[in-house]
């Protein structure tokens, strides 16, 4: 069991959101993380929920902060919260060592803009490249410790991943 700094108390999960951004062809937006130098790490936009924010508000904010556009509409919300655990070698350094992973509410969103609306050069850039990929490719692109989460997201939103859905 991973423990926190409160006399062996178990670490909790950071509340967060994830976004499966879909284009009209049913492809999914992924971006390559700037901070993963040893192996390319592609992921869908995601992030923490700020104090006083609803998961829906957080998802729309994170989209704008991470990819430079809010041109999307929410088409589905995960029924429950999905989570992942950080590997031991990352748990002590991520989020100040306070969490063992993230507990996320996921949103499927339809992209309503043009590719030129996407701009990774945001105030606090997290990514250096992006692409649209077939949904079935998501588990092979993500870091291994998030693979189960991505399979769960794909299962939940599968009907939205069809062209024109």
Residue 81 sits in a domain whose CATH number is 3.90.79.10
Residue 1 lies in a domain: no
Residue 88 lies in a domain: yes
Position 94 scores a pLDDT of 63
Beta-carbon neighbour count of residue 73 at 10 Å?
Answer: 11
The answer to whether 74 and 18 are in contact (CB under 8 A) is no
Residue 5 lies in a domain: no
Residue 31 lies in a domain: yes
Q: What band does 5 get if pLDDT is binned at 50, 70 and 90?
A: very low
Residue 7 lies in a domain: no
Q: Tell me the C-alpha distance between 72 and 55, whole Å.
A: 16
Residue 117 lies in a domain: yes
Residue 4 lies in a domain: no
**Three-class SS of 136-161:** HHHHHHCCHHHHHHHHHHHHHHHHHH
Residue 126 lies in a domain: yes
Position 7 scores a pLDDT of 46
pLDDT per position as a tens digit, 35-53: 776 677 899 999 999 999 9
pLDDT per position as a tens digit, 83-132: 998 887 776 666 666 788 889 999 999 999 999 999 999 999 999 999 99
Domain around 144: 12-160
Q: Using alpha carbons, list the distances in angstroms from residue 133 to 34, 42, 44, 98.
A: 19, 11, 11, 33
Query: What are the backbone angles phi and psi of residue 83, rounded to the nearest 5°?
Result: -140, 165
Q: How many domains does the chain have?
A: 1
The answer to whether 40 and 120 are in contact (CB under 8 A) is no
Q: Would strands 42-43 and 46-48 be described as parallel, antiparallel, or unpaired?
A: unpaired
């Amino acid at each position: 069991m991973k423990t926190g700094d409160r006399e062996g108390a178990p670490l909790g999960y950071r509340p967060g959101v994830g976004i499966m951004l879909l284009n009209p062809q049913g492809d999914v937006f992924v971006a390559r993380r700037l901070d993963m130098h040893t192996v390319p790490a592609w992921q869908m936009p995601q992030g923490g929920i700020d104090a006083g924010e609803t998961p829906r508000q957080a998802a729309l904010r994170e989209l704008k902060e991470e990819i430079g556009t809010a041109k999307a509409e929410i088409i589905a919300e995960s029924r429950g919260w999905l989570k992942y655990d950080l590997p031991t070698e990352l748990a002590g350094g991520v989020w100040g060592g306070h969490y063992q992973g993230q507990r996320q509410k996921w949103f499927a969103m339809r992209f309503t803009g043009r590719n030129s609306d996407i701009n990774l050069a945001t105030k606090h850039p997290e990514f250096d490249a992006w692409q649209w990929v077939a949904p079935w490719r998501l588990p092979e692109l993500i870091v291994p410790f998030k693979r189960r989460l991505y399979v769960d997201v794909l299962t939940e939103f599968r009907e939205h991943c069809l062209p024109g859905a």
